[in-house]
Chains A and B, each alone.
Chain A
Amino acid sequence: MSTVNSVNKVLVAKSNDLSIGIGRRVQVDGMEIALFKQEDQSIHAVENKCPHKGGPLSEGIVSGEHVFCPLHDRKINVRDGLVQAPDHGCVKRYDVEIEGENVFIFID
């Protein structure tokens, strides 16, 4: 059994529709992804699901590149997906490409 690893480049948002400091959720083929626009206009994408109890990270308070899960305040870095101490774990992150106004993410 062999599968070829295919990676999909998906248009998920217009950069202007995202606001700095507030997450935005996008549903891609049944999977929820949270987008976070940063001060420097870069955009990070992670699965919209806290590893603790599945809280929607897009609804959390955003502090720079960290988001605080709205359910139990887990602090998660949206750049690398790592849960910050003393909790641990990580969320899946997606590569992001910005072409002009268009925001793409890569889904495997």
Chain B
Amino acid sequence: MREKLVLIGNGMAGVRTLEEILKKDPERFSMTVFGEEPHPNYNRIMLSSVLQGDSTVDDIVLNSYEWYEEHDITLHTGDPIIKVDTKKQVVYSQSGLACNYDKLIFATGSNPFMLPLPGADKEGVIAFRNIKDCETMIETSKNYKKAVVIGGGLLGLEAARGLLNLNMHVDVIHISDFLMERQLDEPAGKMLQEELEAQGMTFHLKKNTEKILGEKRVEEVRFTDGTSIDTDLVVMAVGIKPNIELGKKSGLKTERAIVVNDYMETSAENVYAVGECAEHRGIAYGLVAPLYEQGKVLAAHICSTEKTSEPGYQGSIVYTQLKVSGVDVFSAGMFQDNEKTKAIRVHDEFEGLYKKVVVQDNKVVGAVLFGDTGDSPRLLNMMRSGEDISQMSKVAILPSESGSESKVSPVVAMADGETICGCNGVSKGEICSAISDQGLTTVDQVKLCTNAGRSCGGCKPLVADLLALTTGEEVDNAKEAMCGCTEYTHEEVVAEIRELGLSHPREVMNVLGWESDEGCSKCRPAINYYLQMVDPIKNADDPSSRFVNERVHANINHNGTFSVVPRMYGGVTNAEQLRKIADVADKYSIPLLKVTGGQRIDMFGVEKEDLPKVWDDLGMRSGSAYAKALRTVKTCVGEQFCRFGTQDSIGLGIELEKKFEYINTPHKVKMAVSACPRNCAESGIKDFGIVGVEGAWELYVGGNGGVDLRGGDLFCKVKTKEEIIDTISAFLQYYREHARYLERTSHFVERVGLDHMKEVVLEDTEGRRELIERLEVALATGKDPWKEIIENKDKQKEYEKKQVTLV
């Protein structure tokens, strides 16, 4: 039975912890989550973006209901836990559920701190903490015009900006003499104020609110200095306090928050706390990156068997980024001066730039950036690594100050190991390789693949820069490496194989300095193909470099069974074949028989161990339905029966299929022969499509009916079957020799050009003759793979399934 894990609090810290646990050991726990809000886990940091109208509530959902289902997590929303019995290890919910646990995680977050002012209970006095608060503000803005925000910190300013967007008049009340005094120094705070005033906010600094007046609803806010402001809405954003009521009631040791050790363990056995409700070494964090770091530590600890070997949580460097459109503000670490620190300052009042880097003992310990936050990832990395900067120039520390005319993105100067997304700990290298390996083109794709930008979104401009940097370079010199294992392109690998006479995939990877001698699923099949293409006689096939379908000569299905397609030349069959297929289907209880698009019969759901027996019983040849080779030649009935048929399409189809079967090609190759321009065999969307007309044959090339629909190009019109076969031979060999592995003829023709193909296949008679000769050599090596396996007991071994029973 799986251990029971209960999570109290369905927010960012708690759910991230579950994600980390699932990553480490998806089978270990049966998980149950209780949350107070009636939503799945959403990105609380992005609430300001919802308020500012840039996102919808749906946009900021981090884990959809489907995610919980997929991972078998029982979710109770709108049902907070009200009692925990840490002795019996049971939690009780408001709706009356009792749930026992083996491990319990408190992730109850924090509550907004509401000033206990007279009148604070009036209608129209709210906090800014959850989706409901957002909705209230949006609703209010429809009927009222004036809003007061109490608190000129991060949250207050984000709320104020949102209310401006909702067309409200906004007054911001702040107790200190400059804004965001917990994150900024005075010059930066003043610059921020100027910028926000320009956006339309009114500030009232050094003000203490005394009371809130009004009938039922708020009408006026009065200050201790006797002044007052009329208003319809008051948003209190003066801070948060850890939500520890339940923890306290349950007997956990609490101070400012629930006290935890380096492994996020509370004072009660099997009870952990993570996120804003946890206090570690005297600090309760209220920012996302530390919460995620804690989640990671907790997951490692809970999943680990040797508890002591896991490093504990060591505390976090905190940093913030204000998310107000048009203002870039960043602050991290110890940004205030004291007698031990020195600072690098850049203050440009014309450009609205302010940068301050605080240094102590030759190490960066804090920073404030205003107006241009591009250097922030670099500074954070210096703070984390504790790098000695005594030998560094100012430009090395603040690359944005390089003063060069062309503004170079800070990502250029960053090392691969440096962090781009601080929330989720994603490095430049990880993002770049995701972009190049998976061909990503948008910030959103990068987010889905790597998690970068999934939380606060502050790093999105840097991700965009990386996209430009990574993909832009490829556009510039058009050199595309075969895969992540090497810098060689497909063409270069082929050239080296020829030049050095290489004969085995391992040899190629070794001689050409592959990053790992083992290669990967992209390069190994390609190299194996190229080797045999270059020398079909000498270079043997390496089955271990083949994708499963080509290794076992059947198509793998979603459930691990295989499908078998026997060859029916030209789509022609007879009673004997059909009888055999029917008998085999009965004998092996084949669940599905289906007529394919290539005019034959597919037998789905065959167990791997049955494959050789099925082939033997069928007594038919392999249809290569799994291979990068000639698949089928589809034909119409033609002159044999059709009243419009001008030519023997079936006859030519069968001849072509027998001629070209079992030869390796860069990708699959399909052919068709129609006997008149009605084109019943769909010759226009095949790699080689032939259309019979009165007294002649037309050959179309590069057609494709798949992913990239492409009509074939008319290549030539000839009188005889022999000319058709020779032309296809020469074309096919040129394609085999010059296409990149997995490049269909349609893409190949587009790349090299139809005229070029006409030149080498039709016009250069000597070259054409040589191409045909080389193809004949390769064709001579082609064999029916099924027959080979049926006749060779050794080769059948791979198909066997060993059964062991426990006693």
Chain A positions near chain B (C-beta within 8 angstroms) = 8, 10-13, 17, 19-22, 24-29, 51, 53-56, 59-64, 66, 68, 70-71, 73, 75, 85-86, 88-90, 92, 107
Q: A106 CA to B552 CA in the complex, in Å?
A: 29
Q: Is the CB of A53 within 8 A of B558?
A: yes
Give the residues in chain B near A71, CB-CB below 8 Å: 556, 558
Residue on A nearest B509 in the bound complex, by CB:
A63
Given A64-B517, A89-B26; A56-B560 close (CB under 8 Å): yes
Q: Sorted from nearest, which 7 A-B pairs have the closest CB atoms?
A: A21-B544, A64-B518, A63-B518, A68-B521, A59-B548, A56-B560, A70-B548
Give the residues in chain B near A13, CB-CB below 8 Å: 802
Given A28-B806, A54-B560; A90-B552 close (CB under 8 Å): no
Tally of B interface residues using CB under 8 Å: 41
Chain B positions near chain A (C-beta within 8 angstroms) = 22-27, 430, 434, 438, 449-450, 516-521, 524-525, 543-549, 551-552, 556, 558-560, 608, 797-798, 801-806
Q: A81 CA to B804 CA in the complex, in Å?
A: 22
In addition to A12-B804, A22-B798, 4 A-B residue pairs with Cβ atoms within 8 Å of each other are: A25-B801, A59-B560, A61-B546, A86-B434
Q: Quote the shortest CB–CB distance from B71 to chain A (angstroms).
A: 10
Given A29-B806, A53-B558, A55-B560; A63-B450 close (CB under 8 Å): no
Q: Is the CB of A60 within 8 A of B548?
A: yes
Give the residues in chain B near A55, CB-CB below 8 Å: 560
Q: Quote the shortest CB–CB distance from B492 to chain A (angstroms).
A: 21
Given A54-B560, A55-B560; A22-B430 close (CB under 8 Å): no
Q: Is the CB of A88 within 8 A of B797?
A: no
Residue on B nearest A73 in the bound complex, by CB:
B521
Residue on B nearest A87 in the bound complex, by CB:
B449
Most buried by B among A13, A28, A107: A28
Q: A73 CA to B524 CA in the complex, in Å?
A: 13
Residue on A nearest B561 in the bound complex, by CB:
A56
Q: Quote the shortest CB–CB distance from B303 to chain A (angstroms).
A: 10
Most buried by A among B27, B430, B517: B27
Q: Is the CB of A61 within 8 A of B798?
A: no
Q: A53 CA to B70 CA in the complex, in Å?
A: 11
Q: Can you list 27 pairs linking A and B with CB atoms under 8 Å apart?
A: A10-B804, A12-B804, A17-B797, A22-B543, A25-B802, A26-B803, A26-B804, A28-B806, A29-B804, A51-B26, A55-B560, A59-B552, A59-B560, A60-B521, A61-B524, A61-B545, A62-B544, A63-B524, A64-B516, A68-B521, A70-B547, A70-B548, A71-B558, A86-B434, A86-B449, A89-B23, A90-B26
Q: Quote the shortest CB–CB distance from B507 to chain A (angstroms).
A: 14
Q: A107 CA to B608 CA in the complex, in Å?
A: 25
Give the residues in chain B near A64, CB-CB below 8 Å: 516-518
Residue on B nearest A61 in the bound complex, by CB:
B521
Give the residues in chain B near A53, CB-CB below 8 Å: 558
Q: Is the CB of A63 within 8 A of B519?
A: yes
Q: Is the CB of B518 within 8 A of A70?
A: no
Give the residues in chain B near A90, CB-CB below 8 Å: 23-26
Q: Quote the shortest CB–CB distance from A75 to chain B (angstroms).
A: 8
Q: Quote the shortest CB–CB distance from B659 to chain A (angstroms).
A: 31
Q: Quote the shortest CB–CB distance from B441 to chain A (angstroms).
A: 16
Q: A61 CA to B518 CA in the complex, in Å?
A: 10
Give the residues in chain A near B547, CB-CB below 8 Å: 61, 70
Residue from the list A25, A29, A56 in contact with B805, Cβ < 8 A: A29
Q: A94 CA to B393 CA in the complex, in Å?
A: 54
Residue on B nearest A48 in the bound complex, by CB:
B560
Q: Is the CB of B520 within 8 A of A27?
A: no
Q: A24 CA to B524 CA in the complex, in Å?
A: 19
Give the residues in chain B near A54, CB-CB below 8 Å: 559-560
Residue on B nearest A65 in the bound complex, by CB:
B518
Q: A28 CA to B798 CA in the complex, in Å?
A: 18
Q: Is the CB of A63 within 8 A of B804?
A: no
Residue from the list B560, B798, B803 in contact with A27, Cβ < 8 A: B803
Q: Quote the shortest CB–CB distance from A77 to chain B (angstroms).
A: 12
Give the residues in chain A near B548, CB-CB below 8 Å: 59-61, 70
Q: A19 CA to B558 CA in the complex, in Å?
A: 25
Give the residues in chain B near A26, CB-CB below 8 Å: 801-804
Q: Is the CB of B22 within 8 A of A61?
A: no
Most buried by A among B27, B521, B551, B797: B521
Residue on A nearest B517 in the bound complex, by CB:
A64
Q: Is the CB of B804 within 8 A of A61?
A: no
Residue on B nearest A20 in the bound complex, by CB:
B544
Q: Quote the shortest CB–CB distance from B479 to chain A (angstroms).
A: 24
Most buried by B among A13, A27, A56, A59: A59
Q: Is the CB of B804 within 8 A of A28?
A: yes
Q: A105 CA to B559 CA in the complex, in Å?
A: 25
Q: A11 CA to B24 CA in the complex, in Å?
A: 28
